[in-house]
Amino acid sequence: MVPSFFAIVAILACAFGFVEANPHRKSCVIKSGQSKEIDDAPAILHAFKECGQHGRVLFEPQTYYVNSVMNVSWLKDVDIEIHGTLEWSTDIMYWLNNSMEVGYQNQSTAFIIGGDNVRINGFGTGTFNGNGDDWYKWIRQQKNTSNYPGRPHALTLSHLTNSAIHGLRFLRSQMWTMSVIHSHNVVLDSIFVNNTGNSAQSSNTDGADTIYSSHIVFNNWTVYNGDDSISLKANSTDITISNCKLSNGLGIAIGSIGQYKDQFETIERVSINNIDYENTLHAFYVKTWTDDQNGYPPNGGGGGLGCTSIWRRSDESEGNGTSRGRLCSFAMHAIFWGPGVGNCTNSQFQIKNVAIKNLSGTTQSTRVASLQCSAVAPCTNITIADVDLHLANSTEANSYLCGNVMSPAGFMCTGDVCVGGSATGEC
């Protein structure tokens, strides 16, 4: 079930085999207004309307100023070539009032792309600049620094199928960089994300989030941020993450899941291979909500912040950016969540069929893993093997804290996990 590295390469080759633009297609070259005062969104939308089906849309090597929302959901068989930079305006009140519904967690977005057979190429230079510094400063003055209603994602791929995005750069996204929702068969290759704030520290700037999506490939991503590097949320299936470098964020997150009361959600068939982690809090972790409803999304939800089961892959490194860990082979075949009732260990959420292998590098904690599983639906078929993690002073990291883990394979539980909500897995 786990696609091999070679299988992934084959998928990529297929996806990009036809990326060469056909010169005979109808082409629209977009002209920039060359001024922050001139909103280029109408010109961009016009080009997509003219050439967004069976055509070609070209952004020249110049800066385009985007001062208003764009919903481009009707694309079909199109080549989109981005040689320049799209720079979003920082009129926070405008965006709070006008950003568009994503369709999950009351989240919203500045730019929607949807359709079938869409090929976007940024050639390694095409850039989406979210101008997030203003957002990062502003959000720190708010009571809700997390999911502030109306704070937009930089880009949402919605109802996008059989498509590929290649060689695009994202700088300082307004919030999450890319949400992928109701999308299937999409390859996202050679994407560079840097959400490091210039003045204020960024917050809630996930690299990418998948929701209600399947057969999504993340290959050769480089992500600098402070939140989830890549996060797989409700109903993400057949997801591949390979050959990535993740820095300063929280690592790869499964969840949060279980935020919606009485909704069944699943994350299955996830394959993660050859990842370099640099100064991330975890390599891999699972976060779920308990079922005690406490407010509504985006900030409240199905359980109030808590943990029915947190799977924490501890791979923290030095914090000075010089050390790294590596997760080279990992397969997750099923995570199920059903509505549970109550506290951190009695959820019906179950984590099962997880294999983590070949993890090496420097870490700040001697705990390799903390597994706080449900007493009602214990973790089963969990393998952690070929781990070579050590502290900066060469002390081996060899403790595995467990709660309700059935027959662990490749490792032995060395102690009890601490019980209770925890963002880090530490007590």
Ligand X SMILES: *[C@@H]1O[C@H](CO)[C@@H](O)[C@H](O)[C@H]1NC(C)=O
Catalytic residue among 206, 209, 227, 315: 227
With respect to ligand X, which residue has the nearer C-beta, 101 or 426? Answer: 101
CB 72 within 8 A of CB 66: no
Q: Counting contacts by CB under 6 A, is residue 53 touching ligand X? A: no
Q: Counting contacts by CB under 6 A, is residue 328 touching ligand X? A: yes
Query: By C-alpha distance, which of 309, 404, 402, 318 is closest to 362?
Result: 318
Q: How far is the CB of 37 from ligand X (least distance, A)?
A: 17
Rg (CA), the chain: 21
Q: Counting contacts by CB under 6 A, is residue 300 touching ligand X? A: yes
Q: Counting contacts by CB under 6 A, is residue 67 touching ligand X? A: no
Query: Which residue in 19, 43, 200, 355 binds ligand X (CB under 6 A)?
Result: 355
With respect to ligand X, which residue has the nearer C-beta, 32 or 223? Answer: 223
Which tokens in the block code for residue 169? 């750069």
Q: Counting contacts by CB under 6 A, is residue 199 touching ligand X? A: no
324 φ/ψ angles, rounded to the nearest 5 degrees: -155, 160
Among the candidate windows 24-32, 50-58, 262-270, 285-293, which touches ligand X by CB under 6 A?
262-270
What is the Cα–Cα distance from 210 to 218, expressed in whole angstroms?
Answer: 11
Q: Counting contacts by CB under 6 A, is residue 320 touching ligand X? A: yes
With respect to ligand X, which residue has the nearer C-beta, 25 or 326? Answer: 326
Q: How far is the CB of 388 from ligand X (least distance, A)?
A: 9
Query: Which residue in 32, 67, 117, 194 binds ligand X (CB under 6 A)?
Result: 194
Sequence-separated (6 or more) residues with CB below 8 Å from residue 324 = 276, 277, 278, 317, 361, 362
329 φ/ψ angles, rounded to the nearest 5 degrees: -155, 120
Q: Counting contacts by CB under 6 A, is residue 295 touching ligand X? A: yes
Q: Counting contacts by CB under 6 A, is residue 284 touching ligand X? A: no
Residue 227 a catalytic site member: yes
Q: Counting contacts by CB under 6 A, is residue 45 touching ligand X? A: no
Q: How far is the CB of 190 from ligand X (least distance, A)?
A: 4
- Kind and range of the H or E element at 10? helix 5-16
With respect to ligand X, which residue has the nearer C-beta, 162 or 214? Answer: 214
Query: Which residue in 62, 125, 395, 414 binds ligand X (CB under 6 A)?
Result: 395
Query: What beta strand segments (E) does 261-412 contain?
Result: 265-278, 282-288, 310-314, 324-337, 350-362, 367-372, 380-390, 399-403
Query: Which residue in 23, 97, 199, 407 binds ligand X (CB under 6 A)?
Result: 97
Q: Counting contacts by CB under 6 A, is residue 125 touching ligand X? A: no
How many helical (H) and strand (E) elements, i.e. helices and strands, does the chain have? 4, 28
* DSSP code of residue 396: B
State the DSSP string of 244-304. EEEESS--EEEEEE--STT--EEEEEEEEEEEEEES-SEEEEEEE--SS-BS-TTTSBTTS
Pairing verdict, β 310-314 and 282-288? antiparallel
Q: Counting contacts by CB under 6 A, is residue 381 touching ligand X? A: yes
Query: Which residue in 53, 161, 346, 424 binds ligand X (CB under 6 A)?
Result: 346
Task: Give how far the C-alpha of residue 254 lies from the chain's centroid of Cα atoms, to the nearest Å.
Answer: 9
CB 200 within 8 A of CB 133: yes
What is the Cα–Cα distance from 178 to 136, expressed in whole angstroms?
Answer: 17
Alpha carbons within 13 angstroms on the beta-carbon side of residue 208 total 28
Q: Counting contacts by CB under 6 A, is residue 407 touching ligand X? A: no
Q: Which residues pair with 254 in a beta bridge?
A: 232, 286
Q: Counting contacts by CB under 6 A, is residue 311 touching ligand X? A: no
What is the Cα–Cα distance from 85 to 217, expressed in whole angstroms?
Answer: 24
Among the candidate windows 43-51, 53-61, 81-89, 339-347, which touches ligand X by CB under 6 A?
339-347
Among the candidate windows 14-22, 40-48, 283-291, 390-398, which touches ligand X by CB under 6 A?
390-398
Query: Which residue in 33, 297, 304, 410 binds ligand X (CB under 6 A)?
Result: 297
Instruction: Convert residues 129-168 into a mask of x (bound to ligand X by CB under 6 A) and - (unbound).
Output: --------------xx---xx-------------------
Q: How far is the CB of 24 from ligand X (least distance, A)?
A: 27
Among the candidate windows 22-30, 44-52, 104-112, 250-258, which touches ligand X by CB under 6 A?
104-112
Torsion angle of alpha carbons 418, 355, 268, 344, nearest 10°?
-10
Which tokens in the block code for residue 17? 């085999």
Catalytic machinery residues? 227
Binding-site ranges for ligand X (CB under 6 A)? 71, 73-74, 93-94, 97, 100-101, 105-106, 112, 124, 143-144, 148-149, 190, 192, 194, 196, 198, 212, 220, 222, 224, 235, 264-266, 295-297, 299-300, 318, 320, 322-323, 326, 328-329, 331, 333, 342-343, 345-346, 353-355, 358, 360, 375-376, 381, 383, 391-393, 395
